[in-house]
Structure formats: C-alpha cells, structure tokens
C-alpha cells in the first residue's frame, strides 16, 4: 500500500514555509501586519479588489514562531505518511485545493479577519484520511487512521470556538481535502467508483461557486 518513494513534496513545502518565515523575520517580523499583507495574507477587501492570489498565498505564511512550528510539525508527520500513499502529484494537488477551499471559506464566512497559515491545507489532509476511512473501511489500518483523525478534527473544532482560530478556514480545508481525495482517487489503497469521483468533483465546484457568492455578498 505504501511506496518507498521519498516524500519530496512534503520536504519542499516545509522548506518553502520556513524560508518565507525567515525572510519575513529578517524584514521586520512575521507578526507585522503590513508585512503579512505585503506577502499575501488573506484580506477580503484586497481580494475583492482583484488580488485573487490571496486565496492561495496565505497557506505559506505564519504569524509567529509558535504558529510555524505547530503547522510544520503537523505537515512533516502527516505529509510524509500521506504523500507515500497518494503519490507526489495527487498529494500536491490535494494540498493546494484544500488550502484554496479553506481560504475561500474564510473569505466567505470570516470577512473581517486577516488570515494566514498552512492549517487550511493541513485540515484538507485530515479530510483525505476521513475519505479513505469511508471508502476503504474494510482495511484495518485505514480504519484506525480515520478514527484517529476524526477525533483530532472534533477536538480542533471544539477548541476553535474558544481560541483565535479561523474555524471557517479549517472546515473549508477539511471539506476541500475530503472531496479532492475522491476526485484524485487513492490507487495505492483501492479504487474509488467513477460516479463517486464525478459527484465529488461537481460538489467541489458547487462549493467554490457558493463560497465566492457569499464572499462577494458579505
């Protein structure tokens, strides 16, 4: 089920996030609002003005060292495991789709917040484990992983109500990764029915349109 290929995409993402954080630190600090905006944090007014890249760039920015370390440790342990299951291209595609969907959900439902962090994409990786649990629950290893990540997701959502967390962004990334996992499939584990892949792709497009509409309305 798991290949011997090295998780080079995970290593590349780790390196990029750390490099950007160090650059921001040298330029004045990753918690400096003006610097976060300059580097591409999610700011609704700027997205509405045409800066659409802010639906992607926030996943490479982190506000403070603790934020970076928490997300990069999570990316390392989950990414190295999941990339060997999905393969490089599927893993990278799901990562970007999840981050995009998370930032889009934040754009729609958290319009006042300046948002940054890889957690939108990371929650999408959590969603892939749930997707595999639903599709390949007969596999005891996959079933165990899905249960563990379901508990982790529930705890994160609960704590998200009490902390300075972009909960819509996390949930948007989660659903994005869940649906993207069906779209790409997981050949190393098993076959996803074609109809389920088509319906998941249609749902993903529908959510994109709906979130954009809500974001513009807000």
- By annotation, the residues acting in catalysis are 119, 170
Q: Where are the alpha helices (DSSP H) in the chain?
A: 8-27, 33-39, 44-48, 65-86, 88-109, 119-135, 140-160, 167-184, 194-217
Distance CA 102, CA 2 (A): 28
CA distance 47 to 96: 18
Q: Which residues pair with 186 in a beta bridge?
A: 190
Cross-strand pairs, 115 = 42
Residue 115's closest CA among 175, 62, 75, 52? Answer: 62
185 backbone φψ class: left, alpha, beta (φ>0; ψ -120 to 50): left
Q: Quick check: 118 and 71 in contact, CB under 8 A?
A: yes
Q: Could you tell me if 135 and 187 are in contact, meaning their C-beta atoms sit under 8 angstroms apart?
A: no
Among 40, 48, 1, which residue's Cα sits nearest to residue 17?
Answer: 40
């Amino acid at each position: 089920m798991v290949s011997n290929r090295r998780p080079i995409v995970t290593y590349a993402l780790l390196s990029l996030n750390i490099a950007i954080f160090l650059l921001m630190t040298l330029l004045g600090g990753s918690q400096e609002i003006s610097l976060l905006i300059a580097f591409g944090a999610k700011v609704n007014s700027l997205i509405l003005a045409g800066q659409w890249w802010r639906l992607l760039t926030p996943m490479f920015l982190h506000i403070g060292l603790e934020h970076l370390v928490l997300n990069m440790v999570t990316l390392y342990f989950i990414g190295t495991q999941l990339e060997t299951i999905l393969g490089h291209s599927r893993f990278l595609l799901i990562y970007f789709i999840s981050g995009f969907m998370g930032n889009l959900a934040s754009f729609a439902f958290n319009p006042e917040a300046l948002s940054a962090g890889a957690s939108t994409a990371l929650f999408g990786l959590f969603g892939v484990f749930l997707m595999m649990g639903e599709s390949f629950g007969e596999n005891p290893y996959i079933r165990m992983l899905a249960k563990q990540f379901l508990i982790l997701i529930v705890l994160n959502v609960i704590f998200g109500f009490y902390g300075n967390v972009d909960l819509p962004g996390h949930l948007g990334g989660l659903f994005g990764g869940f649906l993207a996992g069906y779209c790409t499939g997981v050949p190393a584990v098993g076959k996803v029915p074609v109809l389920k892949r088509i319906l998941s792709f249609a749902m993903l497009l529908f959510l994109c349109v709906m979130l954009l509409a809500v974001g513009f309305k807000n």
